[in-house]
Amino acid sequence: MPASVEELPLAKALTAGLRAAMATDERVILMGEDIGTLGGVFRITEGLQAEFGKKRVLDTPLAESGIIGTAVGLAMRGYRPVCEIQFDGFIYPGFDQITSQLAKMTNRTSGTVPMPVVIRVPYGGHIGAVEHHQESPEAYFVHTAGLRVVSPSTPNDAYWMIQEAIASDDPVMFFEPKSRYWPKGPVDFSASAVPLHSTRVVRTGTDVTLIAHGAMVSTLLQAAQVAADEGVSVEVLDLRSLSPIDFGPIISSVEKTGRLIVCQEAPGFVSVGSEIAATVAERAFFSLQSPVLRVSGFDTPYPSSKIESFYLPDADRVLEAIDRSLAY
Amino acid sequence: MAENSPTVQFLSIDGEFAPSEAAEEYLPYLSDLSDDDHRQFYRDMAISRRFDEECTNLQRQGQMGLWPPSHGQEAAQVGSARASRPQDVLFPTYREHAVGLVRGIDILGIVKVMRGASLGGWDATDPKNGNFRNYTLVIGSQTLHATGYAMGVAFDGLVGTGDPEVDTAVMVYFGDGSTSQGDVSESFVFAASNQTPQVFFLQNNQWAISVPVSTQSRIPLYLRARGFGIPSVQIDGNDVLASYAATRKHLDEARAGQGPAMIEALTYRIGAHTTSDDPTRYQTAEQLAYWVARDPIKRFEAYLRTQGADEAFFAATIEEADDFAADLRHRTLALTAPPLSSMFENVYSEPHALVAEQHAWLDAYELSLREGA
């Protein structure tokens, strides 16, 4: 039994969460490319095959559609597969199996065939990698009925959210902010802080609300600190669940601050941020003192890594948006 | 079939029992079939043919959105389905009407799907539906589901125990067009890698809508599987005995833990791809005549007559099929649209705020329209 609170990198918190889920339910199996002997290219499954055996941690052939499609079949048989997609940009060969099969199976079968499948996707930039290794494809899946989509930003959330995702009878797309794999943070092993599908206030403020998910949350906290030094009180929200979105805390925050900036690494056009902006405009129109602004990646292919810092929103771009919001 | 053909065939096109050389190793699998079994095969084929005709008619009369005919493929479907055991699990495409019939689903479920009254049609988890999974419309997707399911069967220890009530195999149906899909190749890879208890049953009906099989492959399709390390055989798919024997052998071997196998059943889609299709645009009259002459039901009828089946049997079968079709028509016309709530139910297994909100909105909106009227 680990100590109640321990400092862990997000990557190791995920490993601990997977281990706990596998120990709780023997129908939980892990499958993916290089996840067994190697422990995954990011070592998230390190040690688990040795601990649980080759029938619980499967080194699969190198085929994403095959991984997801066989996971669908295993779920039909009563298993709870947790699939690892090696990198964000490698998920598209599995797109049909995710969107037309996995996501729709429960509805197609009138609820008789639940699909308790988790698809783990290391996503996002900041790691200086080559093409297809730094993308943020979450909007494709948020748009698909039948999927749940979440993304932790802290080691504690990673530990608990992966277990909650595995316990869900619905398919869950689990986006892991790979640039946050290594920084340490406290993990409280005694209890989950909040439910899986909830937005959380991570810093309170009164002048403007910032919201993001995954790695961008830490960028918002940097920006909030700089803004505070300049006398601007910033509230920071961690979205955590991209589908469904827990709008309650977002609306409450906007009612307090009157200003909202939605931030993400992903391209802004028809994105999670767009949905939040539209919903806030519908539900909190009279609370807004300025238009909802978006700070996001550009609607371009993810660029060569030597110039990725100009693509990825940083604290300065967030601060620039705060200035624009406050100027109204 | 040509002389020295590698194709497993027991019945000539005239219904004469004349096993091909390739059929010899499959002969033992016919040995325990009784006259009653043979007649059951015939009844299955005749009823499914009549069912298929009735559904085509119902579509033409505006009672169904679409119908994918199975006419011509009855022997491949009935023989393979009759070779499976109750505990086996079968994954269809969307044309395995005769397989569904044999496995005991309420066949109205298929009509519901094509009429637009249901997405899935039947509850594949209900034991009375014979482990016949739901139709899959994206070509080839189900091959991976079958392989994953078969991996689970093996993990559950239901392979190679030697207990005929326990050992379980999975059979997946797919078509010649789907062999070009990546999912089919990936399922071969995963099946071979995991040595799944699985039979891949390909019905090569020569057409993927309008595209001939020669566009999909330069080699006979059964040879494809061998490149993946999966043993395979080609059979005369219009010979119900060949379909039965080959499937029986390979399902037995799969259950015993000998891994996957693939069967290519050469058959022909006498009807259209679906009722929206017009085969006269791509199929010659000569081609059609060639295959009509190889009709699986006529062939088996000729065989049964040599085995002593009399006119009364065939007359009774026609009557049984007509009654089946009349009952189906009656029940089809009684089908109603599903409730609007079904759109929102089971999108997720667990509560989902957005779907619940939209469901409530539609209910309130519909109510407001009625109140305003």
| Structure-block tokens of residue B233 | 């055989």
> What span, in angstroms and rounded, lies between the C-alpha atoms of A35 and A49?
8
What tens digit of pLDDT does each residue of A213-225 get? 999 999 999 999 9
Tell whether the model's pLDDT for residue B217 goes beyond 90: yes
What tens digit of pLDDT does each residue of A84-124 get? 999 999 999 999 999 999 999 999 999 999 999 999 999 99
What tens digit of pLDDT does each residue of A235-279 get? 999 999 999 999 999 999 999 999 999 999 999 999 999 999 999
- Cis ω before A244 (30° cut-off from 0): yes
What tens digit of pLDDT does each residue of A165-198 get? 999 999 999 999 999 999 999 999 998 768 999 9
> What span, in angstroms and rounded, lies between the C-alpha atoms of B178 and A288?
54
Q: Cβ of B186 under 8 Å from any chain A Cβ?
A: yes
- Give the full edge-to-edge strand order of the sheet including A80-84: A57-59, A28-32, A80-84, A118-123, A172-177, A148-150, A241-243
Query: Which value, to the nearest 10 degrees, does the dihedral of the CA atoms of residues A56, A59, A65, A70 take?
Result: -30
Question: Which band of pLDDT confidence, cut at 50, 70 and 90, is reported for residue B10?
Answer: very high
pLDDT of residue B373: 62
> What span, in angstroms and rounded, lies between the C-alpha atoms of A309 and A15?
29
Collect all residues of chain B within an 8 Å Cβ-Cβ radius of residue A149. Answer: none
Work out the minimum CA distance from A230 to partner chain B, whole angstroms: 39
pLDDT of residue A262: 98
Phi/psi of residue A236, nearest 5 degrees: -115, 125
Confirm if A199 and A251 have CB atoms less than 8 A apart.
Answer: no
Collect all residues of chain B within an 8 Å Cβ-Cβ radius of residue A197. Answer: 353
**A residues 56..95 contacting B (CB < 8 A):** 60-61, 63, 65-66, 68-79, 93
> What span, in angstroms and rounded, lies between the C-alpha atoms of B102 and B352?
38
Span B306-327, mean pLDDT? 97
Residue located via tokens 């023997």: A26
Tell whether the model's pLDDT for residue B275 goes beyond 80: yes
> What span, in angstroms and rounded, lies between the C-alpha atoms of B186 and A315?
44
Closest partner residue to A70 among B126, B147, B350, by Cβ?
B147
**Packing angle, helices A64-76 and B141-155, rounded to 10:** 60
Residue located via tokens 């910032």: A210
Give the number of other Cβ atoms within 10 Å of residue B145's Cβ: 30
Phi/psi of residue B263, nearest 5 degrees: -120, 130
Confirm if A106 and A115 have CB atoms less than 8 A apart.
Answer: yes
Question: Which band of pLDDT confidence, cut at 50, 70 and 90, is reported for residue B371?
Answer: confident
Tell whether the model's pLDDT for residue B2 goes beyond 70: no
pLDDT of residue A191: 83
What tens digit of pLDDT does each residue of A73-91 get? 999 999 999 999 999 999 9
Q: Cβ of B337 under 8 Å from any chain A Cβ?
A: no
Region of B352 please: left (phi>0), alpha (psi -120 to 50) or beta: beta
> What span, in angstroms and rounded, lies between the C-alpha atoms of B65 and B67?
7
| Structure-block tokens of residue B287 | 């081609």
The full DSSP string for B68-119 is ---TT-HHHHHHHHHHS-TT-EEE--S--HHHHHHHT--THHHHHHHHTS-S
| Structure-block tokens of residue B64 | 């169904």
By three-state DSSP, how is residue A247 classified?
A: coil
- Helix H, strand E, coil C: the string for B218-259 is CCCCHHHHHHCCCCEEEEECCCHHHHHHHHHHHHHHHHCCCC
- Helix H, strand E, coil C: the string for B22-41 is HHHHHHHHHCCCCHHHHHHH
Q: Which of B133, B269, B294, B299 is catalytic?
A: B269
Decide if A74 and B186 are in contact by the 8 Å CB cutoff. no
Single-letter amino acid code for the residue at B299 = R
In chain A, what is the greatest distance between 2 CA atoms, to the nearest angstrom? 60
| Average pLDDT over all residues of chain A | 97
What tens digit of pLDDT does each residue of B90-130 get? 999 999 999 999 999 999 999 999 999 999 999 999 999 99
Rounded alpha-carbon distances, angstroms, from residue A162 to A78, A156, B151, B279, B336 = 19, 10, 24, 52, 42
Tell whether the model's pLDDT for residue B3 goes beyond 50: no
Question: Is residue A141 exposed (0-12), middle (13-18) or buried (19+ Cβ within 10 Å)?
Answer: buried
Collect all residues of chain B within an 8 Å Cβ-Cβ radius of residue A109. Answer: 120, 123-125, 134, 346
For residue A97, what is the DSSP state?
I
**B residues 250..309 contacting A (CB < 8 A):** none
Collect all residues of chain A within an 8 Å Cβ-Cβ radius of residue B152. Answer: 73-74, 76-79
Question: Is residue B286 exposed (0-12), middle (13-18) or buried (19+ Cβ within 10 Å)?
Answer: exposed
**A residues 168..187 contacting B (CB < 8 A):** 168-170
Single-letter amino acid code for the residue at A124 = G
pLDDT of residue A2: 53
In chain B, what is the greatest distance between 2 CA atoms, to the nearest angstrom? 77
Phi/psi of residue B205, nearest 5 degrees: -95, 15
Decide if B152 and A244 are in contact by the 8 Å CB cutoff. no
| Average pLDDT over all residues of chain B | 96
pLDDT of residue A194: 83
Q: Which of B145, B282, B305, B359 is catalytic?
A: B282
Alpha helices in chain A (DSSP H): 10-24, 48-52, 64-76, 95-96, 105-108, 138-142, 155-167, 216-229, 248-257, 272-283, 308-311, 315-327
Confirm if B191 and B255 have CB atoms less than 8 A apart.
Answer: no
CA angle B37, B79, B210 (to 5 degrees): 150
CA A114 to chain centroid: 22
Q: Cβ of B129 under 8 Å from any chain A Cβ?
A: no
pLDDT of residue A192: 78
By three-state DSSP, how is residue B343 classified?
A: helix
Helix (H) or strand (E) holding A7: strand A5-9
Collect all residues of chain A within an 8 Å Cβ-Cβ radius of residue B133. Answer: 76
Domains of chain A: 5-188 (3.40.50.970), 200-327 (3.40.50.920)
Q: Which of A70, A100, A30 is nearest to B187 (CA)?
A: A70
ipTM of the complex: 0.96
> What span, in angstroms and rounded, lies between the C-alpha atoms of A241 and A196?
7
